[in-house]
Structures are given as C-alpha cells and as structure tokens.
Homo-oligomer: A and B are copies of this chain.
Amino acid sequence: MTSVKELGGEFALIDLIARTLGKSKDKSVVAGIGDDTAVVDFDEKHYMLLTVDMLVEGDHFSRKWSTAKQIGMKAMEINVSDIAAMGGFPKYALVSISLPEYVTVEYVKEMYSGMKSIAKKHNFSIIGGNTTHGEKLVIDVVVIGLVEKERLCLRSNAKVGDLICVTGNLGKSTAGLETLKAGLKGNVKDHLEPECRLKEARIISKHANAMIDVSDGLASEVKHICEMSQTGATVEKKKIPISRNTFNLAGKLKKDAYDFALHGGEDFELVFTIPKNKLKKIKTKCPITVVGKITSKKQGVWLVDGKLENHKTKPAKTTKQNRKQKTPLGGGYDHFKQF
C-alpha cells in the first residue's frame, strides 16, 4: 500500500491517473490530462476548453481569513485563469458545492454573489451545478471556454530560442498567505482576491508559442513547459518581477521573496514563451517581463543568479564561482501540503 507522498506527490499521482485512464480514442479530443485544460474540437474555428478546480476548506482557503464572497470569487477566478492560459475565453461554468451544517444560507448566498461577480467581469454564465451535504465546505467549479484554433497555447509548444516572459508580479499570493499564517499585518489582498490575466492572455495568445498560468510557482511552471516541450530553460533570478509589497511582507517574515515567486502557489499570472521578434508587439499592448530563455533539452533547466549565460555553448563546469550563480530550477507548490 503506497501513500501519495511515497509515490512522489501530486504530479506523480496525476501521471498515474493518466496512465490508468489511457489515451482517448476519440479523435475530437485534442489534449487530455496534462495541460491547464482539456481541449476538444468544437467547430471549424474553435476548440472547446474544459477545466475544473476543487477548493477544500482548510486546504485551499480558510473561513478565518476570507469572506464568503472572496471564497466564491477565488473559486471562479482560478478556473478562468486556466482558460486564459490556453489562450481562450470562458463561456459557461458549473458549480458543485458540499455544505457542512455550520454554513448558513446567508453565507451560501454571499459565496454565489462572489462567483457571479467574476462571471459578470469576464462575461460568461453560471448555468448549472450541484449542492450536497458534507462535513467540510468543498467548492468545485467547472469552466468551459472556447479558443480560436490558431490561438491555442499548449504547454508543449515552446521553441528553442524563445524568450520566457511573465505578466504582473510573482510571489504575491504566498507572501499574503504566510503573513496571515504568521498573524502579522500587511496588504494580503493578492492572496485573498487573486486576479487572473484573461485580458492579457487574449493579446498574448496571438503571438505566444507556449503558455501556462502560475498556480504552483514559477519554477514548477517553467519545468512543466520544458518537460512537455522537450526543451531546457534558463531563468534569471534577478529578472523575476516582485512587487514592493511582497518584498516588504517577506522582510517582516524573514523569508526570501524570490522563494515565494519560484516555489509559492496561486499567483495566477501567466508564464509564456515567444519568439524574440514578437516581444515589442506584446509590450506595446500589455506590460510583461522577460525572465529567461528556452534552451535545448540537453542544456537542462537552470536558475541563474547573475548574468544570463551564453547558451550557444554547453553549460560551464561547476566552479567555486558559478556554483553560487547557477542552480537547477526545481520544486513547486504541492497541493497535497496542508495549511
């Protein structure tokens, strides 16, 4: 008998499930388990995107820290983020909810108001769902979206030489969560009311090769892109965009803001790769930051603390000097860790 931890955590479990289920023989299935959303053929011009995310009280949110409205908003927004990461736009949502006895009707109403506000913001409809009883508050949201076929951004499409870019700032959600956990004061809105980058994604998806949203930290997302695209990558630590607020909170917590950005979860920014010549086109329409470069698979996946090295040559041998500068990019937020 093997525990999920012994197997290797969340991603090992997803692998096992994907192997158990096997590949679909249905030709309309373009992408199954393994990307931000499932992708199926819809019509001549569009693919349909299907995603689902389950939030469990105590593991993904705390009623101590979040209002009912914030919980509803977050449950919806994180699914829209998955649709955005594929380059698409949301159309419909379904909500399943398990309610413990201590949750009042007024609380339920507030949660659904929160969900509705996100549906309104992003112009889609909540069309169904399911309510049931359970010992813990569990919210499971499905979002169905569409994407123009030529704008579908899979994780698996990064090309050697692509720039790795991100929207917004990273580490902000974990900084907020850690501040709440430590009982400190500070601006924790980025944790309680995360906002995904749907508008930006719709611009970026015209030009990007690969895209993913940051739900498990930059390191984990870049590694996903590299694994799926069969490439390497180098990320420059100093280029990772981190807000002044995140640095302040990290300072109070005596923790490293870069660690939050690389290994924290739930920022819901976008990480994407583009050919160099597309950079200007995107930059004029939405602010993005270049944080690294896609390299060949044999060059590996590295975090560089210093100047970006020349990737035309093999990685230099580890010397006393560059040992400090270059470390394998690894780790990520594991949703099997508890609060």
Contacts and interface: CB of A to CB of B under 8 A. Distances in A.
A115 B20 CA distance: 10
Contacts of A108: 4, 13, 16-17
A316 interface: no
Contacts of A10: 131-132
Contact of A113 (B20, B54, B112): B20
A109 interface: yes
Contacts of A26: 91-92, 124-125
Interface string A99-121: 10101111011001101100000
A17 B131 contact: yes
A106 to B, nearest CB: 6
Contacts of A38: 92, 94, 127-128
A335 to B, nearest CB: 5
Interface stretch (A55-63, A168-176, A219-227): A55-63
A81 interface: no
Interface string A119-146: 0000011111111111110101010100
B14 A52 contact: no
Contacts of A131: 10, 13-14, 17, 335
A147 B46 CA distance: 20
Task: Report the copy number of this chain in the oligomer.
Answer: 2
Contacts of A25: 125
Interface string A4-15: 101100100110
Nearest to A123: B26
A244 to B, nearest CB: 32
A277 interface: no
Interface in A298-339: 335-338
B54 A109 contact: no
A228 to B, nearest CB: 15
Contact of A94 (B16, B52, B59): B52
Interface stretch (A29-37, A255-263, A288-296): A29-37
Interface of A: 1-4, 6-7, 10, 13-14, 16-17, 20-22, 24-26, 28-29, 32-33, 37-38, 40, 43, 50-56, 58-60, 91-92, 94, 96-99, 101, 103-106, 108-109, 112-113, 115-116, 124-136, 138, 140, 142, 144, 335-338
